[in-house]
Every structure is written in C-alpha cells, then in structure tokens.
Structure 1
Amino acid sequence: FSAHVKGLLHQTQTTCWDHPKMTELFQSLADLNNVRFSAYRTAIKIRRLQKALCLDLLELNTTNEVFKQHKLNQNDQLLSVPDVINCLTTTYDGLEQMHKDLVNVPLCVDMCLNWLLNVYDTGRTGKIRVQSLKIGLMSLSKGLLEEKYRYLFKEVAGPTEMCDQRQLGLLLHDAIQIPRQLGEVAAFGGSNIEPSVRSCFQQNNNKPEISVKEFIDWMRLEPQSMVWLPVLHRVAAAETAKHQAKCNICKECPIVGFRYRSLKHFNYDVCQSCFFSGRTAKGHKLHYPMVEYCIPTTSGEDVRDFTKVLKNKFRSKKYFAKHPRLGYLPVQTVLEGDNLET
C-alpha cells in the first residue's frame, strides 16, 4: 500500500464516513431545496457532487479500464476500504496526468471514498459490493447518455448479454442509492424499484429476459426511478449554453443554462433560476405549457414553436387542465444532438 493508504487507515476509521469537506459539500446542497421539480433538484445536486469529486472529467471507458485492471469481475464480491482506495487511487492518478491543475489525488480519493461509503455502506461495515462501486462510479462518469446505459446494462447482464428481472432489480437498486443518499428518494418512487422493473418487462411482453436495446428503449422513456440520470446529462449540457433571448422576469440576457419558452405567449422566455423557483411575469400562469432548451435553438425549432403558440393561443384553460404534462416537469423537452458533454 502507498503511504497515503497507510495514513488513511491509521486515522480513525470514521474519517472515511465523516469527511469535513464532504459534510460541508452536503450542507451546501441545501440551498438547492427551493428548486420546485424533484428530478431537476436532484440532478443539480448530483452535478455539484460529480464536479466536486472530479468525476465529470472521468471518461466512461477509462472507468471501465480501471475495473479491468483491478480484476473487479466478481460483482458479488465485497471490497474492503483499502481495496476501494486502491481502485480510486489508480483512477485519480490517471485523471491527474490529464488535468494537472484540477485534480488533487489524495483529496479526491478521500472524498470519493467518503461518498461511496455513505451511499453503499450505510451500516458502516467497511465493505461495499464490487457492483455497487462500479454502478456508482459509472453513473457519475462523463460520456454519452446511451453509452452509459449500455455500460450499466452490461455490468449486470449475464454471459448471454441478456438481463432478467433480478439483475435489472440489482442495477436499479444500486442506482437509486445515489439520490437516496441526498435525501431525494421520495420523488423517484421511494427505495422500492419493483414497479420500475415490472414496467420494463411489461413493455417487453413479460419475456424472461431483455436485451440491451430493449433496456435503452425503456430508459428513453425516463422511468421514474431513473429519471435523475438523463436529467443530470441535460443539466451538464445546459451549463454553458447561451441563448439569444432575454428572461421576461429577471431580464437576464443572454439567458445562460436552461431556457424555457412559453408555448402560450409569443416572445415569453424564462431563465432557469426564475423557472425553477416558480416566479412568473404578469399574465403568465405556471400551468401554461413551456418548452425547454438545454442548447441554443435552431431556426426550425423557432418556427415549430411559433406554430404551437398559435394553436395554444386559442385553447381554453379546460384544455390545459385535461392534458397534464409529465409529473416531474411541466415542459416538453427538446434535445438536439446526442453528445451532452459538448
């Protein structure tokens, strides 16, 4: 073991679970509790965590290579704290070579270990399952969303690359622990992943096993227990987006981040902080339909939205009451492009 590992183990074991830097980070997330939509509130919290742990710099395939290098192929095997530290040290040593100014290896290892233990070792046994480690790190790695679904599926699938209900259940169980640890599990159906497993297999005619393609098709519907993951990717994509539009409420121009455009009023745009906190301008109700952009619009989208506004102009309150939108977000999402890291 490296001197760093020995040093860590010499300290009281509790620093693994109660790291002052992480305690501070978790406390700072409380200021996001005024975001009205649970999937967004959770995703923004996880994004902040992902960046604090430098996992937003970690490519999915690199993560996978580290697992291979450490021969982590027995998913049910339990890893001790020193094993986890070893794996994380390899991970962050590699990251440091590519991002010298951004990665402090000992601190990142400490913080990431703390996060993994708080998510997957609530009983403080000092051990976590190989599969939990993999799903935790892959969920927060950087990469294309569908590529991530593919990797996660492959982790739990059998040798035939098919997945039964039990295996899907294990995947969803490990994934839901991430929002649970942030106190955000209620919005995603609680810790009970049974309904999600059922809905996936029902969609596939209750066959005994599903393929990766069937899993991805189901994930595209953003099932309740997993919706935070695609939203995390949208949050990441929107971070640097600048929109040539002015917020009708706080007058921010250009709007940076998510842009929300009314499908009921012409030229009515709202920035993400006004939208998430529920502020509105005179004459625009919260229940009016909006469309979300996480990257700047194309002229084709502008025309399409314009025609929708025209239609909606003549629709009554009754119409909007009768056609409720998704429970977690009352907007239609517009996603162009696949690579949410660009």
Structure 2
Amino acid sequence: MSGDEAINEYESFLVDLLELAMAQGIFEQHQLTHNEQVLEVPAIITCLLTIYTELQQVYPDLIDIPLCVDLCLNWLLNVYDRDRSGKVQVLSMKIGLLSFSKGHLEEKYEYLFTQVASSAGVCNPKQLALLLHTTIQIPYELGEAAAFGGSNVEPSVHSCFQHVGHKDTVDLEQFVEWMHLEPQSMVWLPVLHRLAAAETSKHKAKCNICKECPMVGFRYRSLKHFNYDVCQRCFFTGRTTRSHKLTYPMVEYCTPTTSGEDVRDFTKVLKNKFRSKKYFTKHPRLGYLPVQTIDLDMNEEYTYSQMSLQSLQRTPCVQQDSGQEGSGTHQTDDFSGGSDKLEPCHCICLTTQ
C-alpha cells in the first residue's frame, strides 16, 4: 500500500475529521450496540448522514454531505461487502470508520479490543481472530494483504498469545502491549498515522543524497554515520551513497527531532562505529513484529473468515482513556496530520538488500 493510496483513501470521504468520542456517541444514538447486527444500505446511509451532518457543523466549508456519504458508503461496501449483498455487519462498519478516524492511536487500540472482548474484559483466540480478520480487510481491499501476512490471521493470533505466555485469554493491557510491537498484520494502522503526521513536517536537515533542504515528510537518520540524513524520496527509492550501505540501521522521524533524541541517536551512532559491516548484515532489524505461518493440528484450526459474531458471549462496552501513555516507540497521537500533539516516531528501519 503506497503512502499516496493510503492517505487519499481516507481523505476522500473526510472521515479523518471524525472524533472517536463523536463516533461512539452516534453509534449509541443509532442503537448500534450489538456488533453481530447486520445493517442494510438504508440503515448505513442513515448513520452516515448523522455523522456528516455533525461534521458539517464543525467544518462547514469542507463537508459536502451527499458526496461524503456516497463515497464512504461505497468504500464500506468495497471493503466489507464485495459481493454487493447490500449488508454490512455493525462491527465491520465500526472498525472501518474508527480505523481512519481522528484520535490517539492507543485509544483506537483500546476501542478495537473492547468491540470483541467478553464482559470480563478479555479476549480468547477466536475473538481476537475475529478482530484481526475484520481489520485486515482494509489493506486487502487495496490488494496489499500479502504485505501484512496475508488474509489468514491464525499466525497473528498465535503471535499474540505467545507474547503473553500461551494463556487462554488476553486482556486489554496485554493486547495494547502486543500492538506496540507493531505485528505485521496490524502494522498498517500505525504506519498510516505516521504518514498523516509526516505530510507537512519539515526537518532542518539536508538530504545527503539529493541535497534537499529542508526535508519535507519523513526523515531518515543514519545510526552508522554522524550527520547523515536521507529524505523520504531517496529512502523509498533505495538511493544511497558509497559510504552508506542499505544494510546500515536508520531511524525514522515523522516530526522534527528534539535535543534528547539527537543525543540518543548520537550515542547509538558512536556504538555502531565499532561494529563491522558484516554485523549489520547478520543482525538485521525490522521495524515491525513479523508473523510466521504455523502448522496446527486439524482440530485446532478455525475458519476465521466464516465464523459468526453470534458465537461470542460479550457485553458491549467502551473503556475510557486512562490517561497513561504507551511505551511503544512507534506511537503517534492524533490522526490529523497538522496536529501539534504528534509525537516523533522512533522506528528503527532497516531496508533489505
């Protein structure tokens, strides 16, 4: 999924202006509390009309209600009703809209979890699989599911429960902790936040390859050489110089760096100066948690794509933000690219040869 595709996807129907709290209130207003409920097109349109009517009151110059409703409805059907039956589950609509809405990334993780969690506030493997299967439909619609581990969510479920010590259930804190590792099947969501954050970011640094200054968008700083920066265009096209190899570690920033981050990166460069070229080739680091295909006994396999929400025993609830910030190094805040609240990313990115 290219950056332009992802950004244009949500900007076209302006759902990035939708606050999480506003969306939750509208869902409750339309009594969309039972996630197993199936909505037909008229009911979906009614809900979308309420959403864009409220958004128009805040952004009167941006919102064209008929156009936005039509674009958003078409997108929801493309993602969750490819056969055009005219029906979409409540859970699918919630996840689709809230994934692209305006809000803190950690709050989105919490909201996603609570939509499938039991009344006890925990998820079993089947419930987690349902959540992952519903969310993976978004990159699948763009033809990019393979880049995120494919449409089979079984390895991701295994990865999560392996992270918590193979327990029978996972709670909210454990789920958020796992999400901070950016598992391959869900890495597109924080990446999308970083893309939005980097759109208008300017960095007071010069690209060592094309000499662009200031750099706009993502900034990639070498952790092998001092004062070596690469702009996003050169990084994504694989351009390099004789002194800097593609296997060398780099750190990604979507907003300008702070003095503390400059000192931290200086220390890392100093350490890496004593490491050979072979070290980085033998010890590659990924900016996400890869999920591997696993073989399970036949009696342990689930057909996640066909399972029903009705089998989940749960009471709908939405947990409020506890005010604690996550410790994930990739975390960003508001989805709107122009927010001053956005935190810089510290994604250790290592391109492959």
Residue 25 of structure 2 aligns with an amino acid whose one-letter code is E
Question: What is residue 6 of structure 2 aligned with on the other side?
Answer: 46
Match of 2:88, SS state, is strand
Alpha carbons of structure 1 residues 68 and 43: separation in structure 2 relative to 1, 3 Å: farther
Match of 2:185, SS state, is helix
Compute the displacement of 1:43 (Å): 5.5
Match of 1:85 among 45, 51, 63: 45
- How many residues align? The count is 299
Deviations for 1:74-112, whole angstroms, at most 9, x for unmatched residues?
Answer: 211211111111111111111111111111110000000
Compute the displacement of 1:327 (Å): 6.6
Match of 2:158 among 192, 198, 213: 198
Cα pair 1:291 1:334 within 8 Å, conserved: no
Question: What is residue 55 of structure 2 aligned with on the other side?
Answer: 95
Question: What is residue 31 of structure 1 aligned with on the other side?
Answer: none
Residue 108 of structure 1 aligns with an amino acid whose one-letter code is C
Deviations for 1:118-142, whole angstroms, at most 9, x for unmatched residues?
Answer: 0000111111111101110111111
- Structure 1: tracts of 5 or more residues without a match: 1-40
Question: What is residue 234 of structure 2 aligned with on the other side?
Answer: 274
- Structure 2: tracts of 5 or more residues without a match: 290-327, 340-353
Question: What is residue 110 of structure 1 aligned with on the other side?
Answer: 70
Cα pair 2:103 2:333 within 8 Å, conserved: no
Query: Residues of 2 paired with 1:321 and 1:68: CA distance?
Result: 53
Compute the displacement of 1:328 (Å): 6.1
Cα pair 1:292 1:334 within 8 Å, conserved: no
Match of 1:226, SS state, is coil
Compute the displacement of 1:336 (Å): 7.6
CA RMSD in angstroms, aligned pairs only:
1.9
**1:181-330 matched pairs, under 5 angstroms:** 181-326=141-286
Cα pair 1:44 1:232 within 8 Å, conserved: no
Match of 1:96, SS state, is helix
Q: Which of the two has greater helix per residue? A: 1
Question: What is residue 143 of structure 1 aligned with on the other side?
Answer: 103
Q: Output the TM-score relative to the length of structure 2.
A: 0.80
Compute the displacement of 1:284 (Å): 1.9
Deviations for 1:159-178, whole angstroms, at most 9, x for unmatched residues?
Answer: 22222111111111110000
Question: What is residue 312 of structure 2 aligned with on the other side?
Answer: none
Cα pair 2:15 2:100 within 8 Å, conserved: yes
Cα pair 2:222 2:251 within 8 Å, conserved: yes
Question: What is residue 92 of structure 2 aligned with on the other side?
Answer: 132
Residue 11 of structure 2 aligns with an amino acid whose one-letter code is K
Query: Residues of 1 paired with 2:287 and 2:121: CA distance?
Result: 33
Alpha carbons of structure 1 residues 327 and 59: separation in structure 2 relative to 1, 3 Å: closer
Deviations for 1:137-162, whole angstroms, at most 9, x for unmatched residues?
Answer: 11111100000001111111122222
Cα pair 2:161 2:167 within 8 Å, conserved: yes
Query: Residues of 2 paired with 1:234 and 1:164: CA distance?
Result: 30
Cα pair 2:105 2:332 within 8 Å, conserved: no
Structure with the larger RCO, 1 or 2 (CA within 8 Å, 6+ apart): 2
Compute the displacement of 1:255 (Å): 0.9
Cα pair 2:91 2:115 within 8 Å, conserved: yes
Deviations for 1:252-275, whole angstroms, at most 9, x for unmatched residues?
Answer: 211111100111222211111111
Moved more, 111-120 or 299-308: 299-308
Question: Does 2:17 correspond to 1:57?
Answer: yes
Query: Residues of 2 paired with 1:87 and 1:293: CA distance?
Result: 37
Query: Residues of 1 paired with 2:268 and 2:143: CA distance?
Result: 38
Deviations for 1:247-296, whole angstroms, at most 9, x for unmatched residues?
Answer: 12222211111100111222211111111111123432211111111111
Q: State percent identity of aligned pairs.
A: 64
Query: Residues of 1 paired with 2:70 and 2:334: CA distance?
Result: 30
Query: Residues of 1 paired with 2:22 and 2:32: CA distance?
Result: 14
Cα pair 1:60 1:138 within 8 Å, conserved: yes
